[in-house]
Amino acid sequence: MSSTAPTVTREQAVALDAGSPLRGRRELFELPAGVVYLDGNSLGALPRSVAPRLREVVDREWGAGLISSWNTADWVGLSRRVGARIAPLVGARDCDVHVGDSTSVTLFKTFVAAARLRPGRRVIVLEPTTFPTDAYVAAGVSRAFDLELRWCDPADPAASLGDDVAVLALTHVDFRSGAMFDLPGLTRAAHDAGALAHWDLCHSTGAVPVELMAADADVAVGCTYKYLNGGPGSPAFAWVHPRHQPGWDQPVTGWFGHADPFGMAPTYAPVDGVARMASGTPPVLALSALDAALDVFDGVGIDVLREASLSLTDLFIDLVDARLGSVFEVITPRARSLRGSQVSLRHGSAYGVVQALVARGVVGDFRTPDVARFGFAPLYVTHADVYDAVEQLVAVVEGEEHLRAAYAVRHAVT
Ligand SMILES: Cc1ncc(COP(=O)(O)O)c(C=O)c1O
């Protein structure tokens, strides 16, 4: 392979960082020296605010306060408080976001509740390229509630809408390619067909602007361990448009979604608002970690994050094109309006490429069958990181390091 010269110098990349409004934010994170971390779209880096907060919650609230901390530390209100901090990142009112279960469990509840708002319609439309858990959960929901799944063409999801469709359930940014759907346009198309628009925001929240209220969307779900840096397995959020909340009937009707949990009534009566998404006791430690992690977003607008993210992905695409254009196919859309915050490269030995890069300190991930995926979390990834990552990629390819036998051994998590 012959690589050509980079289109920018490292000095120019450093100058871009020096002029960035996010300059200095990286210091809010614990990042190991010598690592270029391009996997914040899988697991965000650790904000420095998390460990002290968790120590305090463990020692003072749990250790010393014991059960009284449900009241004195307002553990009961933690989900609502954390939801209110996520709300501005997705264009929602503070009171309309609930945080509590995993994304998969949340999807089960929202798919069922959304479908129940369109009685007489039996179809949930999904794109076949959606994240597998969305499809698996939708299949489980359809079996349990006698609904039908319909796969749409990701190039034209609206073509699958009809008067039998209850819910159009799409993933805003595709986990494999990084392609982004037109959320307002497809929401309108769903409504024109009488269906609800349900959005999975896992790969958007914290890096890509989403205006749920302005788009008049119906339901959204997103994880918090990627660009929100909530930590491994941190709880997901759900947003329900206020017009749907009075009739919102989610299927896991546990006591924490009851209007009066400690009334211990024998029958269920849901609390008002999105809080009825709750089922059981909230994960206080995980919510506390997420609460602390969200400090890194204080004072930063989502538009600033988006501009920084686009600048990083533009640079990565330009450098890969210039230096390795004959080796990798960039499968992420080049048009800014169609791209999330990741860039995916297709290569026959993509797994080996990712492993060889990790050995050189550049962390991305692999998605089967042939995609090397790189996420650009704008709060802590710099233009200099992008420059260095592409230099390492060139070295891997030139040295044919990706073909080494050791890098063919598949780990459980890729
Ligand atoms: C789009 C999307 N939905 C859902 C999930 C995962 O769901 P859970 O948080 O339940 O593991 C992911 C994980 O990467 C994802 O990318």
Encoded tokens for 189: 């198309």
pLDDT attached to residue 285: 98
Q: What is the mean pLDDT of residues 223-250?
A: 98
* Residue of 41, 131, 208 to test ligand 1 pocket, by largest number of atoms within 8 Å of CB: 131
Largest CA distance in the chain: 73
Determine contact, residues 235/224, Cβ cutoff 8 Å.
yes
Ligand 1 center–CA 104 separation, angstroms: 7
CA 204 to chain centre: 5
- pLDDT (tens digit per residue) in 83-94: 999 999 999 999
pLDDT attached to residue 411: 87
Determine contact, residues 353/364, Cβ cutoff 8 Å.
no
Average pLDDT, the chain: 97
Which contiguous run of DSSP H or E holds residue 14? helix 10-18
Q: What is the mean pLDDT of residues 292-318?
A: 97
Residues 6 or more apart whose Cβ sits within 8 Å of residue 32:
none
| Dist CA 131 CA 178 (whole Å) | 12
pLDDT attached to residue 70: 98
Residue 412 has pLDDT above 90, yes or no: no
| Dist CA 138 CA 193 (whole Å) | 20
Name which of 396, 207, 211 is nearest 312 in CA terms.
Answer: 207
- pLDDT (tens digit per residue) in 239-297: 999 999 999 999 999 999 999 999 999 999 999 999 999 999 999 999 999 999 999 99
pLDDT attached to residue 208: 97
Residue 2 has pLDDT above 70, yes or no: no
Encoded tokens for 360: 């050189």
β-partners of residue 46 are: 30
- pLDDT (tens digit per residue) in 45-73: 999 999 999 999 999 999 999 999 999 99
Which are the catalytic amino acids?
131, 200, 225-226, 373
pLDDT attached to residue 101: 97
Left, alpha or beta for 146 (phi > 0: left; psi -120 to 50: alpha)? left
Q: Whose CA is nearest to atom 8 of ligand 1?
A: 103
Determine contact, residues 386/351, Cβ cutoff 8 Å.
no
Encoded tokens for 9: 């110098």
Any alpha helices (H) in 219-326, and if so which ranges? 284-293, 302-324
Name which of 106, 61, 405, 45 is nearest 240 in CA terms.
Answer: 106
Residue 5 has pLDDT above 70, yes or no: no
Encoded tokens for 363: 């962390």
Residue type, 2: S
Q: What percent of the chain has pLDDT over 70?
A: 99
Encoded tokens for 298: 């204080």
Q: What percent of the chain has pLDDT over 90?
A: 96
Q: Residues for the chain: how many in total?
A: 414
In Å, what is the CA distance from 63 to each residue of 49, 68, 234, 283?
Answer: 20, 11, 22, 16
Name which of 12, 16, 11 is nearest 382 in CA terms.
Answer: 16
Kindly list the protein residues whose Cβ atom lies closer than 6 A to any atom of ligand 1: 102-104, 131, 133-134, 171, 175, 200, 202-203, 223, 236
Map out the domains of the chain with their CATH numbers.
Answer: 10-30+301-408 (3.90.1150.10), 51-297 (3.40.640.10)
pLDDT band at 414 (very low <50, low <70, confident <90, very high): confident
- pLDDT (tens digit per residue) in 6-25: 789 999 999 999 999 999 99
| Dist CA 84 CA 72 (whole Å) | 20
Residue reference for tokens 């994880």: 223
pLDDT attached to residue 3: 55
**Ligand 1 atom nearest to CA at 130:** 1
Residue 392 has pLDDT above 80, yes or no: yes
pTM attached to this predicted model: 0.97
Number of H-type helices and E-type strands within the chain: 12, 15
Ligand 1 center–CA 170 separation, angstroms: 13
Residue 408 has pLDDT above 90, yes or no: no
pLDDT band at 113 (very low <50, low <70, confident <90, very high): very high
pLDDT attached to residue 298: 97
* Of 145-159, 166-180, 235-249, 400-414, the least confident: 400-414
